[in-house]
Amino acid sequence: MKTAKFSIGQVVRHRLFPFRGVIFDVDPQFSNTEEWYEAIPADVRPDRDQPFYHLLAENDETEYIAYVSEQNLLADQSGEPVRHPQLRELFNRTTDGRYEPKGHARH
């Protein structure tokens, strides 16, 4: 089992699709439904044996929860705040722009 490359509170962006978000939970390996997994097109379907991240995500149109494999994430270097409405429930934004979990985050 791999050690997670990204951490809770980190801002990341998707490698292929135009969205970004803040990590609020990490699964050491795939832990979603078989239907969810099979819905991913086979040519871009990630390996199950890697960390998967729960994100408070956003794109140009909306905010939502995303579940993304480690291979499809990159650290977001923009420094731009994330606008997801649930952020304030789970995190405090620090003066250097990071997100610090409030107490114990759970999903």
- Does residue 3 register a pLDDT over 90? no
- What integer is the mean pLDDT of 81-91? 95
Across the chain, mean pLDDT equals 92
* Residue given tokens 């994330």 in the structure block: 82
For CA atoms 74, 14, 43, 65, give the dihedral sign: positive
Token pair recorded at residue 47: 């390996």
Q: Where are the alpha helices (DSSP H) in 1-107?
A: 34-38, 87-90
CB 9 within 8 A of CB 26: no
The Cα 77–Cα 7 span in angstroms is 15
Can you tell me the distance from the alpha carbon of 58 to that of 78, in angstroms, rounded to the nearest whole number? 14
Band of pLDDT at residue 105, cut at 50, 70 and 90: very low
Residue 106 has pLDDT above 60, yes or no: no
Per-residue pLDDT averaged across 88-106, rounded?
83
Q: Predicted confidence band at 94 (pLDDT cuts at 50, 70, 90)?
A: confident
Per-residue confidence band for 71, with pLDDT thresholds at 50, 70 and 90: very high
What secondary structure letter does DSSP report for 38? H
pTM: 0.90
Give the domains, in start order, of the chain with CATH numbers. 11-101 (2.30.30)
